[in-house]
Amino acid sequence: DGASAALMYYEQSHDPRVAGLALLNPWVRSPLSLARTKVKRYYGQRLLQGSFWAKLLRGQVSWSAVRGLAGDVRTASRLSSTFVPNGAFQQQMAAGWLAFSGPILLLLSELDATAHEFTEYTTCDPAWQLALQRRQPTRVVLPGADHTCSTPGAKTAVEAAMRSWLAGMPQRAALQRGRERA
């Protein structure tokens, strides 16, 4: 995933040629983030649907699905520290985010599980909480967009967000240089 690779690259290189980071749906997959996202976004919605309960009462929900739900609930209830060893790629990404002093554009697709997972992961991981607190990005949620922004409306939204963000980059860079001198 390009967003994840860009952060890990910067964490390792501190490449001075990188003027800004535009990150679309960063990938932070872990057992915890996947389970929490499934419980919140999929199972939560599914349990509210009448069609699910009708299938359950007719015996059309497999036991493997029920076991999967139970396993995801167990996993989702555990602490994040049990799932992310020090040095894991998610921690390298957070370190890259913190090390980068330029502007960051964070694009999150509304209908993308990877984007939901990023949001879930970063709200429970201490390294990411610190990174987002110290280095707040320009955050744009792309309404109706899937992972690759494959619809014309999503593509237009990405382009508009990028144009707007790029138009403000010289001003942001000047402000950042002023803060670094102070």
Across 41-50, 61-70, 116-125, 135-144, which has the greatest mean pLDDT?
135-144
53-80 pLDDT, tens digit per residue, is 677 677 776 767 667 666 666 666 665 4
Average pLDDT of the chain, as a whole number = 82
The pLDDT of 98-119, averaged and rounded, is 94
pLDDT score at 47: 63
pTM of the model: 0.72
CB proximity list for 51: less than 8 A, separation 6 or greater: none
